[in-house]
């Protein structure tokens, strides 16, 4: 890996032999920084997940699979089996899948229309989107919390406008109660699966637009026009011309958003009912919160990491295969 024989498309002519040792030094320093800061935390999580918990509060390094066993079958296995943590993982995946699919499905037409606008208009939309994208999860949760609160949000609006009464008359109210979206007297959104997924898809919606933007803005407009001239309806054009060309970015975006949402913390703590909370919550509880079992928290993090990694890998495989075919 010496610097001399490495192919250097830009710099070969510029490279001066005397600079080579210094270049090597800085390369080593870079590797040290990246390995020490970017990779080390993940390595520690994996190592500590095999650590031994000592009664009290501490833990020591070790090599025990007990935390993984506890995750999959419960601490008192084989006498009894509990799937509490598998259930948490299920909800992590469930929320993340639905929220990312909704975000991409609604962001796709939006991005398509946006890329048809003038460059200046696109810039303005991008500023707006980036500002909301960067906005902290705590603020977004705050906003939806007010909007969905019983006192001043949507439930009040529904009540005042008579929609709640109408729902009761027509029997839809009982359906809502079955879905956990109404208490005996009113429509409620906190806590509900609906509110959790709504906030989560809101959270990643700007990301979806930003991720779809490059592909859609490079879309060859002449093929769309050709199809239109030949008499295809707008809907047929979208289905037969636009969607097939951006299929890969669409799939890729869903996967990326999914990975991003796997670790969502604030929305789930605020909007999901205790029985339907996710792995991110129990990771926090184990590492910093009430139960204080760092190795178990690390083991749960590893499971999250593996889920995320599998998903990124699967996305890559799909993209490669379809890329090769198309």
Closest separation in Å from C-beta 106 to other proteins = 7
Residues 265 to 304: which contact other proteins by CB under 8 A? 265-266, 270, 280, 283-284, 287-288, 294, 297-298, 301-302, 304
312: contact with other proteins by CB under 8 A:
yes
Of the pair 139, 179, the CB lying nearest other proteins is at 139
Is 126 near other proteins (CB under 8 A)?
yes
At 49, list the tokens: 């997940």
How are beta strands 52-53 and 59-60 bridged, if at all? antiparallel
Q: Which stretch binds other proteins (CB under 8 A): 165-173, 181-189, 238-246, 257-265?
A: 257-265
CA distances from 252 to 81, 92, 201, 321, 323 (A): 37, 19, 16, 13, 12
Residue 27 Cβ, how far from other proteins at the closest point, in Å? 7
In the bound complex, what is the minimum distance in angstroms from residue 178's beta carbon to other proteins? 26
| Residue located via tokens 């009040």 | 156
The structure tokens listed for 260 are 């991003």
Under 8 Å between Cβ of 280 and 268: yes
Query: Is residue 4 near other proteins by the rule CB under 8 A?
Result: no
Span 75-114, contacts to other proteins by CB under 8 A: 106, 109-110, 113-114
**Least Cβ distance, residue 101 to other proteins (angstroms):** 17
Cα→Cα distances 145→59, 155, 159, 272, Å = 38, 12, 18, 12
Q: Contact 53/296 with Cβ under 8 angstroms?
A: yes
Q: How many residues bind other proteins (CB under 8 A)?
A: 94
Identify the residue among 25, 162, 169, 218 touching other proteins (CB under 8 A).
218
Cβ-based nearer residue to other proteins, 175 or 306:
306
Could you tell me how many helices (H) and strands (E) the chain has, helices first? 17, 2
C-alpha triplet 126, 131, 137: angle, nearest 5°:
135
Site for other proteins in 11-70 (CB under 8 A): 11, 13-16, 19, 26-27, 30-31, 33-35, 37-45, 48
User: Which residue lies nearer to other proteins by CB, 50 or 213?
Assistant: 213
Least CB distance to other proteins at residue 162 (A): 20
CB 130 within 8 A of CB 210: yes
Q: Which is nearer to other proteins, 168 or 308 (CB)?
A: 308
Residues 158-217 that bind other proteins (CB under 8 A): 202, 205-206, 210, 213-214, 217
Distance CA 86, CA 82 (A): 9
Q: With contacts defined by CB under 8 A, name the span among 60-68, 79-87, 177-185, 260-268 that binds other proteins.
A: 260-268
Site residues for other proteins, window 129-158 (CB under 8 A)? Answer: 129-132, 134-140, 142-147, 151-153
Within 13 A of 248's CA, how many CA atoms are on the CB side? 15
How far apart are alpha carbons 216 and 111 in whole angstroms?
7
Question: What is the C-alpha to C-alpha distance for residues 157 and 25, in angstroms, rounded to an integer?
Answer: 65
Does 259 bind other proteins (CB under 8 A)? Our answer is: yes
């Amino acid at each position: 890996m010496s610097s001399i024989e490495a192919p250097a498309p830009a710099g070969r002519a510029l490279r001066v032999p005397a600079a080579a040792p210094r270049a090597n030094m800085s390369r080593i320093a870079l590797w040290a920084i990246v390995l020490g800061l970017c990779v080390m935390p993940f390595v520690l999580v994996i190592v500590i997940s095999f650590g031994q918990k000592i009664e009290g509060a501490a833990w020591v390094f070790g090599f025990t699979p007990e935390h993984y066993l506890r995750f999959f079958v419960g601490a008192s296995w084989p006498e009894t089996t509990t799937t509490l943590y598998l259930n948490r993982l299920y909800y992590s995946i469930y929320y993340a899948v639905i929220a990312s699919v909704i975000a991409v499905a609604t962001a796709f037409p939006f991005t398509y229309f946006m890329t048809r606008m003038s460059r200046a208009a696109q810039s303005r939309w991008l500023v707006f989107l980036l500002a909301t994208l960067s906005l902290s999860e705590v603020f977004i949760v705050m906003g939806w919390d007010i909007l969905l609160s019983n006192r001043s949000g949507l439930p009040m609006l529904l009540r005042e406008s008579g929609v709640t009464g109408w729902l009761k008359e027509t029997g839809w109210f009982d359906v809502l109660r079955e879905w956990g979206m109404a208490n005996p007297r009113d429509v409620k959104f906190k806590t509900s699966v609906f509110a959790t997924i709504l906030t989560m898809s809101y959270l990643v919606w700007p990301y979806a637009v930003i991720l779809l933007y490059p592909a859609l803005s490079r879309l060859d407009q002449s093929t769309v026009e050709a199809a239109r001239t030949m008499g295809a309806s707008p809907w047929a054009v979208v289905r037969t011309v636009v969607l097939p060309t951006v299929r890969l970015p669409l799939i890729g975006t869903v996967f990326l958003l999914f990975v991003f949402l796997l670790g969502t913390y604030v929305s789930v703590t605020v909007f999901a009912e205790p029985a339907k909370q996710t792995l991110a919550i129990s990771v926090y509880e184990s590492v910093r919160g009430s139960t204080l079992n760092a190795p178990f928290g690390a083991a749960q993090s590893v499971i999250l990491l593996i889920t995320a990694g599998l998903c990124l890998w699967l996305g890559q495989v799909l993209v490669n295969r379809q890329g090769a075919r198309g």
